[in-house]
Structure 1
Amino acid sequence: MKKRIRTADDVDFINHTALIDSKIIHIKTTPSKSGKTHFYWNKSRAELIVGSKIHFPVPSLAHLERYRKPCFDMGRDEIQVGDSVIWFFGKVIQPVLCATVIGITRSNGEKFLRLLPNHPESVIQETWARYERSRFFLVSNNKADRYRAPPNTIFAAYQDELDKVEEIYGPIRSQRLVLRYLMDNSLSMGEKAFLNCHLELFKGIYPWAGTYRKIEVVVTDRQHPTLHPQKVAQAMQEFCRDFSNKYLRLVGNNRERMLNALVYAHKELAWIHPFEDGNGRTIRLYLELVATTRGFGFDLTASMSSKKKKRYYHFAVRKAIQGYPDILTALLNRALI
């Protein structure tokens, strides 16, 4: 008895009517240390499974594509059936689609992927999408643990989808904002600039982009407290006034004064913690904006290049909030060019 029965050539995706009565479908075979591994799709649970405890025979779509990379290799460029991906749809109706690849076909020499949205309220429903490498990003192989996403406006069902969209949008939007402020000398570094940093990073992703938080927030698993939400707006106004009068007005082209201004801003903004999420990225973009518009370079990426360095950076920020700014000063000193 054959374990896997090849489907007809026109049956090219999991939800095809010809497979309506099939609960388990063989979708691909990929290389592995032991030679090769067979993967199956459980339709009732919408999950990828490895070939154990399968009641054979099952229909197989594996002939649709031969894969060169192991399914578990998350550094691969290869998009496989069963993967969770982000497709940059690029339309106002829904700029990105977070979906699972459930089929593949070819027409006129081009590859098309069948996409099933991961979020039930997605505006775009199950569809074929022409595969363009620059528009598709691998998010998950659907075997690793995934965490549900908080409310968002891009219909992301999982946190890793949000992380990937932010990772892609962040550098592009940051550069665009810095250039806008460099080209327009009439723009100030006040409260509006700081709000613009958050808005630019998270607009179109979260409903709270560019607005102060209305909930209490604790930082990291150690539960570090932050300012009460009802005091955020007033604290931001006071910070912006002091930052402008006591620091920015006196900087000129003096590097030491610029460094002192950045340390003060980072410490104060981290304590206030103005936003529901994304505070660190917003603060770093704001510091870059302040330094760049005053003729300095600013690049903190070296301090964020590994998990160990990130922990040290966050430790430096906490110590500064507690009144010991020396470590944070050293980090910002290296970032200030």
Structure 2
Amino acid sequence: MSARSATNFARKPKHSVQLTGRHTIRLGRTIASLIHGFTSARMQMMSKKQPDKPNTWYDFFAPGTDVLRNSLGIEDPQELEDAERILSQARLAVGADTIPRTFDFEHLRTIHLNLFQDVYPDWAGEVRPVGISKGVNFTEPYHIEAYAKDTFRKLAEKDFLQGLPRDAFVIEATELLGHLNAIHPFREGNGRAQREFIRQLADEAGYDFDLSGVTADQNNEASYRSLAYGDDSGLHEIMDMAVKERAAKAA
């Protein structure tokens, strides 16, 4: 699969955004300057001595907190959530479509790296070394590589879902999303990386992919039921809402 050209979104003017709190950062008027603002703050933090790459559960957290260690030095959970959300959206706008679309595990890891490199540079794109759960356990770390290899091998055997009618694509994409959700290869940010992977897969297959009508609660419930009970009906409903026939371009 060929890489897509970079989007022009970064050059469109945007309103200023300000994250309030101890670690106030004023973001610029464009997506590009937004990233620059975060990156400058990150470099200031990285000039200080940083811990080694996390290997245990506690290594991932800022000392004395339950907040993930991050390059901005933020220890307030809401501030971190805001920074993570804004910056990952910015990275999607300026970098996602430049990633080579190989549709393998490396592709998924590169998407995750692109999304979270500014906030979690120590482990963005890296397979988690610890177990995680959200009401039910995700794949144990020592099985992740093997399960991922098998999942992407099957995707390749299906020709990356190319040439399928829409309903058939929805069924296959639902099954793939269920497997990716169960593997959950990263410490945080799995859902966003998975959805971007599926978006790119749909794009290559000739479909638009729009999740704007899906709520966070709906997504969380569907993901939980898929993992806990093997019930992918919720994921299928989401895929059916999101995958759309591409409108023909005007002559």
Question: What TM-score does the superposition give when structure 2 sets the normalisation length?
Answer: 0.70
Counterpart of 1:73 in structure 2 is none
By how many angstroms is 1:313 displaced?
1.9
User: Of residues 185, 208, 213 in structure 1, which corresponds to 2:128?
Assistant: 213
Partner secondary structure for residue 187 of structure 2: coil
| Aligned residue identity for 1:95 | T
Taking a change above 3 Å as real, the CA distance of residues 180 and 263 of structure 1, as seen in their structure-2 partners, is: same
Alignment of 1:220-259 (within 5 A): 223-246=135-158, 248=160, 250-259=161-170
Deviation per CA, 1:264-298, whole angstroms, max 9, x where unpaired?
Answer: 11100111111111111111111111111222111
Residue identity in the other structure for 1:197: I
Q: Mind listing any 5+ residue stretches in structure 2 that lack a counterpart? A: 1-16, 49-64, 245-251
Q: For 2:174, give the aligned amino acid.
A: V
**2:200 partner letter:** L
For 1:332, the equivalent position in structure 2 comes to 239
Q: Is the 8 A contact 1:217 1:226 kept in 2?
A: yes
Counterpart in 2 of 1:196? 110
Change (3 A) 1:148 1:314: closer
Query: Rg larger in 1 or in 2?
Result: 1
Q: Does 1:282 pair with 2:193?
A: yes
Mapping for residues 99-248 of structure 1, pairs under 5 Å: 123=47, 149-181=67-99, 187-206=101-120, 207-219=122-134, 223-246=135-158, 248=160
Is residue 86 from structure 1 mapped to residue 4 from structure 2 by the alignment? no
Rate the CA distance shift 1:93–1:123 in 2: closer, same or farther, 3 A: farther
Q: Which moved more, 1:171-180 or 1:207-216?
A: 171-180
Query: Is the contact made by 2:19 and 2:25 (CA closer than 8 Å) also made in structure 1?
Result: no
**Distance in 2 between residues matched to 1:335 and 1:93, nearest whole Å:** 33
> Quick check: 1:266–1:283 contact (8 Å CA) kept in 2?
yes
1:26 alignment counterpart = none
Q: Specify the code of the residue in structure 2 equivalent to 1:320.
A: S
Deviation at 1:94, TM superposition (A): 7.0
3-state SS of paired residue (2:26)? strand
Task: Please give the alpha-carbon distance, in whole angstroms, between the structure 2 residues aligned to 1:224 and 1:163.
Answer: 23
Deviation of 1:316 after TM superposition, in Å, equals 1.4
Q: For residues 230 and 68 of structure 2, what CA distance do their matches in structure 1 show?
A: 33
Which one has a larger percent helix, Structure 1 or Structure 2?
Answer: 2
User: Do the aligned partners of 2:18 and 2:27 also contact (CA within 8 Å) in 1?
Assistant: no
Indicate the RMSD between aligned Cα atoms, in angstroms: 3.1
Q: Percent identity?
A: 21
How far apart are the structure 2 equivalents of 1:151 and 1:272?
Answer: 23
Q: Distance in 2 between matches of 1:191 and 1:198?
A: 11
Higher relative contact order (CA 8 A, sep 6+): 2
Cα shift readout 1:174-199 (whole Å, capped 9, x = no counterpart) = 23344325xx6xx3211121111110
- Quote how far apart the aligned CAs of 1:96 are: 4.9
Deviations 1:290-328 (A, max 9, x none): 111222111113213xxxxx2222111222232222222
Distance in 2 separating the partners of 1:253 and 1:209: 33
**The one of 198, 221, 225 aligned to 1:319:** 225
Q: Do the aligned partners of residues 83 and 153 (structure 1) sit closer, same or farther apart at CA in structure 2, a change above 3 Å counting?
A: closer
Q: One-letter code of the match for 1:85?
A: T
Deviation at 1:160, TM superposition (A): 2.2
SS at the partner of 2:207? coil
Please give the per-residue CA displacement for 1:220-276, whole angstroms capped at 9, x wherever unaligned: xxx31111111111111111101221362x531521222122101110011111111
Counterpart of 1:302 in 2: which secondary structure?
A: coil
